[in-house]
């Protein structure tokens, strides 16, 4: 149980275009979802935390107008990278936590490799 599905697994886009990444909880209701970014050979950097039905909380230094997060339902959160540039190329990973899980491990998706040309 507790499967998180992320789509697409990889995407290549041209500079200036926008890309949407989906994160779905398949067998549980995800009240909170977390979006991370990971550069090669580096750790996961928390970008934002989103609770279903409310605005996402962004970490310091993360541009909320560039990385749009929507968590409109208990099973789906989306991250849209707007006006993408080559420096946005990275591995984006979502994770989710269910209702009442409190302090419990996050369930992670398998990530999306974004390449901006």
Partner 1 sequence: GESVGLHLPTLSVQEGDNSIINCAYSNSASDYFIWYKQESGKGPQFIIDIRSNMDKRQGQRVTVLLNKTVKHLSLQIAATQPGDSAVYFCAETTGNQFYFGTGTSLTVIP
Q: Is 42 in the site for partner 1 (CB under 8 A)?
A: yes
Binding mask 75-114 for partner 1 (x = CB under 8 A): ----------------x-x-x------xxxxx-xxxx-x-
Could you tell me the two tokens for 96? 């989710």
- Determine contact, residues 51/68, Cβ cutoff 8 Å: no
**How big is the site for partner 1, counted in residues (CB under 8 A)?**
25
Give DSSP secondary structure letters for 46-85.
EEEEEETTSPPEEPTT--TTTEEEEEEETTEEEEEE-S--
Q: Which of 14, 43, 54, 87 binds partner 1 (CB under 8 A)?
A: 43
Short-list 38, 92, 100, 86, CA closest to 69:
92
Decide whether 17 or 57 has the Cβ nearer to partner 1: 57
Would you tell me which residues interact with partner 1 (CB under 8 A)? 4, 6, 34, 36, 41-46, 49, 59, 91, 93, 95, 102-106, 108-111, 113
């Amino acid at each position: 149980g507790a499967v998180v599905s992320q789509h697409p697994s990889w995407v290549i886009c041209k500079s200036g275009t926008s890309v949407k990444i989906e994160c779905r909880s398949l067998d549980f209701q995800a009240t909170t979802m977390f979006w991370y970014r990971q550069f090669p050979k580096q750790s996961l950097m928390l970008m934002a935390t989103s609770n279903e039905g409310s605005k996402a909380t962004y970490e310091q230094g993360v541009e909320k107008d560039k990385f749009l997060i929507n968590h409109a339902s208990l099973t789906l959160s989306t991250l849209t990278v707007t006006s993408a540039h080559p420096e946005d190329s990275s591995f984006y990973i979502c994770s989710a936590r269910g209702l009442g899980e409190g302090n419990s491990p996050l369930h992670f998706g398998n990530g999306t490799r974004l390449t901006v040309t």
